[in-house]
Amino acid sequence: MKKHDKPIAHKTTGKGKTYNPTDKGAGMTAKGRAEYNRKNGSNLKAPAPSPKTAADKGRKASFCARMEGVVRNAKGPAERAKASLKSWKC
């Protein structure tokens, strides 16, 4: 099995929620990031809407560019991508 191919359940409500609903920014919750990191040996970080370091500024620029492409090329409304752009202040 390859690294990073163990997905987590996409739950947006209840006690074990791992993703925020669209109206709350649509990203992973801290609990969801922790679960994903644990299962995949990964190191997902929290969003950086107000970056304090040069590395976080780079992460934000990269994320915003990537998500803007998702919204632009989407076949549907891409509501979750738009919500994440808003929560990252892109």
| Secondary structure of 45-77 in HEC code, one letter for each residue | CCCCCCCCCHHHHHHHHHHHHHHHHHHHHCCCC
**Angle CA(82)–CA(35)–CA(71) in degrees, nearest 5?**
15
* The two three-digit tokens of residue 33, written as one number: 């990031």
Q: pLDDT tens, position by position, for the chain (90 residues)?
A: 455 677 777 778 778 788 888 888 888 899 999 999 998 888 999 999 999 999 999 999 999 999 999 999 999 999 999 999 999 999
Residue ranges of the domains in the chain?
Answer: 1-46, 48-90
Token reading at 72? 């632009």
pTM above 0.85, yes or no: no
CB of 31 closer than 8 Å to CB of 18: yes
